[in-house]
Amino acid sequence: MPTYNAPVEDMLFLYEKLRDNKNYNEIDKYKEVTTDLVKNILEEAAKINQNLILPLAKAGDENPTVLENGVVRTPPGYKEAYKKFIEDGWTSLSCDPKYGGQGMPKTVSAFFDEMLSSASLAFKLYSELTLGAYNCINHHATDEIKNKYLPKMVEGKWSGTMCLTEPVCGTDLGLLKTKAVEQSDGTYKITGQKIFITSGDHDLTENIIHLVIARASDSPKGTKGISLFLVPKFIVKEDGSIGTRNGISTGSIETKMGIKGSATCVLNFDEATGYMIGPKNKGLSQMFTMMNLERIVVGIQGLGISEIAYQNSLIYAKERKQGKSTKNQSPNGNADLIIEHADIRKTLLNMKSIIEGERALCFWLSQQTEVSLNHSDQKIKQDATDMVSLMTPVVKSLFSDLGMEITSDAMQIYGGYGYTKDQGIEQLYRDNRITPIYEGTNSVQAIDLVFRKLVNQNGDIIDKYISMIKGDLNKNNKDLSSFVTKLEVYIDKLSKFSNWMKDKIKTSKDDANAASNDYLRVLGYVAIGYSWLKVLEVSYKDYSNNKDFYEDKIQTANFYFNRVLPRVESHYLSATTGSKYIMDFKFN
């Protein structure tokens, strides 16, 4: 089984030294969230993830969820761990104190999300979807519904889901068939089938609150006729107690490649009682409140799995002897540890430089997210919302794709042992494989980025982002000069690529489509480079206070700028060759 040590030191470094967003620091309710408080939270989070949650990863993989006589049973140890998990208040960490939450910002909860993803992604999903449903209800439901459902969800006694996909539609939700028939009392009868529902049914909580998109009888076809409904597994009485079973049943549990401890269900709704959330026919935009936050969290899942894959690869490389390095002076021809080989060192540094850069970018994004939700100035809120909107598909896609690269490389470092189940490394690869797929496949994310996020009703967002980066480059700092010079080259490539893309959106949508994934990666690699530059600025400034830590940061960044950032050039050159030779190709 893999080992795991939560990177608390790196997380605290980011929280203490890179919490530099002026607008974020103006949010009154977070001014009392001190570094000492965050340190205590992260240290406790590390304990529960390392000691209690980590063993569940193997248990869930070897003993998946099962459906027996209509009841979904989670793997051994899950119920006991979940009970402790909610007793310690981890489901309430970022929730509103009004409903029993602790009110921590996403600059803190994102670190916990990463730890939990490292420890056991399958276990994490039971609480993750609850938080997504909580956010959606909190943003769009009436006070009556919020007061009735949110306290138990925040406590963790009730869980939540997001029910979108159906057999007839994947991402194209306009094709959905689930119907909602209004009743005389204002409720709706929901009938239809939903598939791939994460945590759709289980034995961990007293009730499950499903958020379901459906079409009312008098609504138009397509996405303009979609409404959002709250449909509980058990009807909740007026006094808040649980009543009779609603018209929801579990048809089956998907047999999956990974995250086997997570119950991914087919749910059948048979005239189930539902309550409309928000205005009729506005359900898709309401659901995106949940989906957009989920997409960022999916990126963090890729980051978390990458971290544990790296940690174990490093340990193995320091223990495994194989071959002779160029430094081998052994008269007996003894083998060296594989960490002495240049290719292994390169692979490990590739992992490390990407992971730490991603974590820094995620911290920047978490500050922007809080500003977009909580700042008092509407203009500042909107600007932050645009930045979050721009970077959401990047974090979701790039982090999850690089998670596949890193877990694959981890298996390679382990050699034949990595391919066997004994070490647990191949499970990391399998568990992460869903992250580029769910919450909208990565190609869908790339197309969304290109066609909807670069330019919107608020202006040229990508140009604003590029201008922000350029304005933040510290060209007078001699320590940073070589890094700044390299980043400027790739910012220029991003700018040229952006202009090319904006032109192709108007003149050749096929060209833009074919280049979307490459464009997303270019933007992502530059964004991580920008995040590394902010880390470097602190590292050189505070170098004498913690030489070992900051020297490690400087050398890791050096690898990123020399070995990872140049990937931009390849993506730019291949993407801008266009699409005619692709679209004209005749498949037999």
Cβ count within 10 A of residue 549: 14
> What pLDDT score does 172 carry?
74
Q: Report residue 145's pLDDT band, with 50, 70 and 90 as the boundaries.
A: very high
> If you average pLDDT over residues 433-446, what whole number do you get?
94
> If you average pLDDT over residues 164-191, what whole number do you get?
89
Task: Identify which of 492, 504, 399, 400 has the alpha carbon closest to the alpha carbon of residue 455.
Answer: 504
Q: List, in order, residues 6 or more apart from 478 with CB less than 8 Å away.
A: none
Question: Would you say residue 257 lies in a domain?
Answer: no
Per-residue pLDDT at 585 exceeds 80: yes
Count of residues in the chain: 588
Task: Note the helical H segments in 442-542.
Answer: 442-448, 461-472, 481-507, 509-541
To the nearest whole percent, how much of the chain has pLDDT over 70? Answer: 98
> What pLDDT score does 151 carry?
97
Q: List, in order, residues 6 or more apart from 55 with CB less than 8 Å away.
A: 1, 77
Question: Would you say residue 8 lies in a domain?
Answer: no
Question: Would you say residue 480 lies in a domain?
Answer: yes
> What pLDDT score does 182 carry?
96
d(CA 59, CA 82): 14
d(CA 43, CA 496): 44
> What pLDDT score does 175 carry?
81
Coil/strand/helix, residue 476: coil
The catalytically annotated residue of 155, 358, 370, 439 is 439
Residue 294 is among the residues annotated as catalytic for this protein? no
- Contacts made by residues 456-459, CB under 8 angstroms, sequence distance 24+: 456/386, 456/389, 458/382, 458/386
Per-residue pLDDT at 353 exceeds 70: yes
Question: Would you say residue 405 lies in a domain?
Answer: no
Contact criterion met (CB below 8 Å) for 23 and 384: yes
> What pLDDT score does 331 carry?
62
In 6-116, beta strands by DSSP E:
66-68, 71-73
Question: Would you say residue 211 lies in a domain?
Answer: no
Mean pLDDT, rounded, of the chain: 95
- Give the count of domains, the chain: 1
Model-level pTM? Answer: 0.96
Element (H, E) at 228: strand 227-232
Question: Would you say residue 134 lies in a domain?
Answer: no
> If you average pLDDT over residues 206-222, what whole number do you get?
94
d(CA 77, CA 55): 9
To the nearest whole percent, how much of the chain has pLDDT over 90? Answer: 89
- 459 class by beta-carbon count within 10 Å (0-12 exposed, 13-18 middle, 19+ buried): exposed
- 330 class by beta-carbon count within 10 Å (0-12 exposed, 13-18 middle, 19+ buried): exposed
> What pLDDT score does 429 carry?
98
5-48 per-position pLDDT tens digit = 999 999 999 999 999 999 999 999 999 999 999 999 999 999 99
Contact criterion met (CB below 8 Å) for 428 and 309: yes
User: How far is the CA of 299 from the CAs of 172, 211, 303, 445, 509, in angstroms?
Assistant: 22, 22, 6, 12, 27
359-380 per-position pLDDT tens digit = 999 999 999 999 999 999 999 9
Token pair belonging to 67 = 């459906």
User: How far is the CA of 413 from the CAs of 73, 303, 321, 503, in angstroms?
Assistant: 36, 19, 12, 43
Question: Would you say residue 502 lies in a domain?
Answer: yes
Per-residue pLDDT at 179 exceeds 90: yes
Distance of alpha carbon 309 from its chain centroid, rounded?
Answer: 17
Question: Would you say residue 176 lies in a domain?
Answer: no
Q: What angle do CA 17, 22, 25 make, to 5 degrees?
A: 75
Distance of alpha carbon 441 from its chain centroid, rounded?
Answer: 13
Beta strands at 158-163 and 71-73: parallel, antiparallel or unpaired: unpaired
Phi-psi region of 566 (alpha: psi -120 to 50; beta: other; left: phi over 0): alpha
159 φ/ψ angles, rounded to the nearest 5 degrees: -110, 180
C-alpha count within 13 angstroms, C-beta hemisphere, residue 287? 24
Per-residue pLDDT at 490 exceeds 80: yes
Token pair belonging to 439 = 């919450």
> What pLDDT score does 315 carry?
97
81-126 per-position pLDDT tens digit = 999 999 999 999 999 999 999 999 999 999 999 999 999 999 999 9
Structural domain containing residue 560: 441-583
